[in-house]
Amino acid sequence: MALSEFQVEPWLVLAFCSAIFFIGLAGLLIRRNILVILMCIELMLNAVNLTFVTFSKIHNHMGGQMSVFFIITVAAAESAVGLGLVIAMFRTVRSVDTDEIQLLKQ
C-alpha cells in the first residue's frame, strides 16, 4: 500500500469538513448577494458529502459513499430551483441583493 504513506489523519479531514460547513453557514447568514448565498448552501452540502466519505473510510463501510450520490443529486435539483427563483425575483425586483427584498415586515 503505497498510498498509506500519504494518508491524512481522519480527524483532520473531519475538522476540515466542519470548518467548511460552518463557513457556509456563516456566509449564508452574513452575505447579501443571493448568488453567493446559493454557493454557501452548496458549500454546506459538499462539506456533508466529504464528512460522509471520511466516515465511510474510517468505518470501512460503503453506506456513506452511496449516500453522497443521493446528496449530489438532490443538491443539483436544489440549485436548479434556487436559480429559477433568483431569475423570477430578478425580473420583478431588478436586483439580487437581499437588502432590496424587505417588503414583508419583520
Partner 1 sequence: MEALTIIRPESLSLSSEQVRALMPYFLVFGGIMLATLLAVVKGIKPKWPVFLLAVATAVVGVVASANLIPDATIGMFNGMMVSDSYSHFFNVIFMASAGITILASLRYLDREQLQHPEYYVLVLLSALGMMLMTSALDLIVIFIALEIMSLAVYVLVGFRRTDKKSNEAAMKYFILGSAASAILLYGAALLYGATQSTNIHEILKFTQAQPAGMTPLFTLGVWLVMIGFLFKVASVPFHMWMPDVYEGAPAPVTGFMTTGLKAAAFASFMRFFISMGYGTTLSATLQAHIHDILWVSAVLTMIVGNVIALTQTNLKRMLAYSSIAHSGYLLVGLLAGSGTPGGYSAVVFYLVAYAIMNLGAFIILTVISNREDTGLNLHDVSGLASRSPWLSFAMAVFLFSMAGIPPTAGFAAKYMLFYSAIQAHETPLVIISVLCSSISVYYYLRVLVYMYMREPVGSAPASRVSMWSALAVALMVAMTLQFGVVPARLVEVTKRAVASL
Q: Alpha-carbon distance 87 to 4, whole Å?
A: 47
Among 13, 36, 39, 89, binds partner 1 (CB under 8 A): 89
Number of residues in contact with partner 1, rule: CB under 8 A? 45
Encoded amino acid at 76, one letter? A
- Cα–Cα distance measured from residue 44 to residue 40, given in angstroms and rounded to the nearest whole number: 6
Provide the minimum distance between the beta carbon of 9 and partner 1 in the complex, in angstroms, as a whole number.
15
- Answer yes or no: are the C-beta atoms of 54 and 13 closer than 8 Å: yes
Binding-site ranges for partner 1 (CB under 8 A): 14, 21, 24-25, 28, 34, 37, 41, 44-45, 47-48, 51-52, 54-55, 58-64, 67, 70-71, 74, 77-78, 81-82, 84-86, 88-89, 91-93, 98, 101-104, 106
